A and B are shown apart, each in its own frame.
Chain A
């Protein structure tokens, strides 16, 4: 069964600080991995997408890494802002499958 595990479940950081979220997956055969940001009460919005050959991808203050050998990914948020408070979901696609495997998300709370 394809699975995606995220850690931590939640975290609280002070505005301006950095944080890193983790994602481990067992999806096979691997196609791509996306990080989504989901604000409370809204749909997920894509932040980054990485394929097998990509190790890192940045989108502003968000930087995602991928180690396809160990099946791990991380999302690093630099210089956090209050607007970064949201749930961050790791989503993995299997090759040839339109269905996505979702992690449960990490809830990030940024405090002033």
Chain B
């Protein structure tokens, strides 16, 4: 399968714990995006990478959130000191031009 992959698919954690999600984009795609989606809503933009450079971060990305794309390939999204409000689906997408291809998402539940 050469699509966007995300790991894990589901994560349940206790409030205050740190979590890290991984995204592997389509191999030749230089652009990578992270989104957050809550129930009944469309995805909300979190951050964007072009190669290894993080070019934009949404104000939704508080200082507890950090994203990296160290070699311009896979990316990680870390949430520190999780809160119940962080419970959501975290989607990753990649693109070569304007069409973004989405991964299956990581469902985070914070208890």
Contact = CB atoms under 8 A, between A and B. Distances in A.
Interface in A2-44: 4, 9, 31-32, 34, 36, 41-44
A73 interface: no
Contact of A98 (B42, B48, B91, B102): B48
A87 to B, nearest CB: 9
B25 interface: no
A43 B31 contact: no
Given A98-B31, A98-B48, A99-B48, A45 B102 contact: yes
B100 A100 contact: yes
A46 interface: yes
Contacts, number: 52
A105 B45 contact: no
A105 B42 contact: yes
A110 interface: no
- Secondary structure call for the A interface: strand
A86 interface: no
Contacts of A45: 102
Interface residues of B, number: 25
A104 B38 CA distance: 10
B91 A43 contact: yes
Nearest to B9: A41
Interface in B78-111: 89, 91, 93, 95, 98-105, 107
Interface of B: 4, 6, 31, 33, 40-45, 48, 56, 89, 91, 93, 95, 98-105, 107
Interface of A: 4, 9, 31-32, 34, 36, 41-46, 49, 89, 91, 93, 98-100, 102-105, 107
Given A43-B4, A43-B93, A102-B44, 13 more contacts: A32-B98, A41-B105, A41-B107, A43-B6, A43-B91, A44-B43, A44-B102, A45-B102, A46-B101, A98-B31, A98-B48, A100-B100, A107-B40
